[in-house]
Chains A and B, each alone.
Chain A
Amino acid sequence: MNVLDIIKPENQVFCKSKLMTDTTLSYCPGCGHGTAHNLTMEVIDELGICEDTIGVAPVGCSVLAYDFMNIDMTQAAHGRAPAVATAIARTWPEKYVFTYQGDGDLAAIGTAETIHACNRGENIVIIFINNGIYGMTGGQMAPTTLEGMRSSTSPYGREIKTMGSPLKITELISNLPGVYYVTRQAVHTHKHARKTKKAIKKAFENTRLKKGLSFIEIVSNCNSGWKMTPNESNIWMEEHMFPYFPLGDIKVNGILK
């Protein structure tokens, strides 16, 4: 690829989306949230659906997503975003509705809302950032914390016998008939970010076609919570997170891979 190809708009990964506000991101430097936000906004901008999109912000690090995304957004109580999005999509069936949730929000306190919104096949997009830890609350154990991984509430490492296994909620919900598209991606390299963007675009297109629920897990880092440099955290993520949470499509067009 020559330089001219690289700077073509379709090949640019890191430019700031027009739908991102000028507010300084509250995320730690090196965290994947900023990229995931930007990709989501790029897709909404490129599809020209800003006027018809309503986002649902979660509790956790991304609680302030509405400060950065220049679209209409409703902030939901911890774990309840899929219920909030259900109602928005039901009462405004022509709108594009998405939730943006972390692992504590989606896979712990909000497990019931996640499973039932998926099972009803709500015509929404769920973007799920899995960094295996409660970031904002100060680095406590999440349902997706890996075995042996240290957190402030698993200070000697997660022990399966007493704390259970890391929850693969994405695989769990992929078995539900109402779920049309399930994929697991990452955003720590430009290659991964581009794949994630494609996935997000596909998800919003599914909404347009009223296909039901699209679920995009983004395995991401938490350099602060993991107590690593950004680069170390990305390497650690590849070596430890990806083997347990393998990247790739899990269900496409309603068919399990």
Chain B
Amino acid sequence: MSELKLMKGNEALAEAAIRAGVDAYFGYPITPQSEVIEYLMTERPEQRTGMVVLQAESELAAINMVYGAASTGKKVMTSSSSPGISLKQEGISYIAGAELPAVIVNVVRGGPGLGTIQPSQADYFQSVKGGGHGDYKLYVLAPASVQEMADFVEDAFKIAFKYRTPVLILSDGLIGQMMEKVNLKEQQKRLTDEEVITLNGDWATTGKPTTRERNIVTSLDLQSEKMEARVHRLMKKYEQMEQEDLRYEEFQTEDAEYLFVAYGSSARIAQKAVKLARDKGIKAGLLRPITLFPYPKKILFDLANQVKGILSVELNAGQMVEDVRLSVKHKVPVEHFGRTGGIIHTPEEVLEALEQKIIK
């Protein structure tokens, strides 16, 4: 049965993972996402559903545990925050290269380096442009509420298994830490080992029966032609994601003359700025990318025919604005407004930035 609760974003995500029938979580504490593993340990999911939860010795170990469990066809996830995700990049590249399904959560804090423990969106480049070594992309989902922290877990696993690819839930310290009401879905059953074998037995390493060839999970192709074919296969997946699984939300764009583009926390603030603008007689609208890869390039290109200018609102020094500019192809002015250091912009500041940088 579904259930209405008041929860932190990190807790909602953890509870949703148990209810989504996830088989295993491997993590390592780091602010501002430690509540994920703390909640999981408190809830004893091993007793509730049989879900394995283990605190690894490091982020490197945690992501490689994810790789290990994913290689056997299980539903496995991890979470961390910016410096921890940097440590996980090696493993993420291997998971992408070996074409394994897995869900990785980044509750972003400010950087570079140890940075700050306050919210940030400064991991945009790292998330959507690769992050680790090699030619690969992550499917990136950006929640903007506690409800979406919960809902996106199941969505992420559907994509992860559809494409056999790592999926990133790109949250931030604001959504991870804030409390909101959340409607939790009813408990799903975890797949039995037999069901895992039936569903994933054609590729997963579950032990070789005499009835099939051995399954090998690897990201290694020493023959150049084979390696190139693997990269092409990955690129094809990414094209398919763009065709079939692109997600975005429009807010008052029908008659908009000015457009905000923002995701996650910034999108909620920009939504309020749209209202403030409209109160002043400025026809503003908001495009909120929900998937940051694939990116809603076409809808942005189309909206650029209608608006006079676009402001990319981000909690960083200017990262997504590059993708906005690439999408609109110089049709209209595109500017960036962002705060860093863990400072959250107010709706008033966002509106002021629109007036100063775009409307002038």
Contacts and interface: CB of A to CB of B under 8 A. Distances in A.
A54 interface: yes
A56 B68 contact: yes
Contacts of A57: 218
A204 to B, nearest CB: 13
Contact of A113 (B64, B69, B74, B210): B64
Nearest to A95: B207
A76 to B, nearest CB: 7
B128 interface: no
Interface in A11-58: 50-54, 56-57
Nearest to A89: B68
A69 B216 CA distance: 10
Contacts of B205: 54, 72-74, 88
B24 A112 contact: no
B217 interface: yes
Given A54-B72, A83-B65, A77 B91 contact: yes
A64 B207 CA distance: 18
Interface residues of B, number: 39
B218 A75 contact: yes
Given A75-B220, A83-B68, A88-B72, A113 B61 contact: yes
A160 interface: no
Interface in B45-78: 52, 54, 56-58, 60-62, 64-69, 71-72, 74, 76
Interface string A54-69: 1011000001101001
B71 A84 contact: yes
Contacts of B219: 75
B207 A52 contact: yes
Interface residues of A, number: 33
Contacts of B207: 50-54, 71-72, 92, 95
B91 A80 contact: yes
B335 interface: no
Contacts of B69: 87-88, 90-91
A72 B206 contact: yes
Contact of A87 (B26, B206, B208, B209): B26
B214 interface: yes
A112 B57 contact: yes
A232 B80 CA distance: 51
Contacts of A84: 64-65, 67-68, 71
Contact of A76 (B67, B206, B214): B67
A176 to B, nearest CB: 13
A75 B61 contact: no
Given A74-B68, A80-B91, A91 B74 contact: yes
A74 B218 contact: yes
A53 B206 CA distance: 8
A87 B68 contact: yes
Interface in A114-157: 116
A216 interface: no
Contact of B71 (A50, A88, A90, A116): A88
Interface in B81-111: 90-91, 94, 98
B215 interface: yes
A72 B208 contact: yes
A52 to B, nearest CB: 5
A250 B219 CA distance: 36
B15 interface: no
Contacts of A91: 23-24, 52, 69, 72, 74, 76
B193 interface: yes
Contacts of A75: 98, 216-220
A175 interface: no
Pick the most buried of A50, A52, A91, A92: most chain B CB atoms within 10 A of its CB: A91
Given A54-B207, A75-B220, A91-B23, A83 B61 contact: yes
A77 B218 CA distance: 9
A86 B65 contact: yes
Contacts of A52: 207
A170 interface: no
20 contacts: A51-B207, A51-B208, A54-B72, A54-B205, A54-B206, A54-B207, A66-B214, A71-B207, A72-B205, A73-B205, A73-B217, A83-B61, A83-B62, A85-B68, A88-B68, A90-B24, A90-B65, A91-B24, A92-B193, A113-B61
Interface of B: 23-24, 26, 52, 54, 56-58, 60-62, 64-69, 71-72, 74, 76, 90-91, 94, 98, 193, 205-210, 214-220
Given A63-B220, A90-B65, 4 more contacts: A70-B208, A90-B69, A95-B207, A116-B57
Nearest 7 pairs of A and B residues by beta carbon = A87-B68, A84-B68, A75-B218, A87-B65, A80-B64, A72-B205, A116-B57
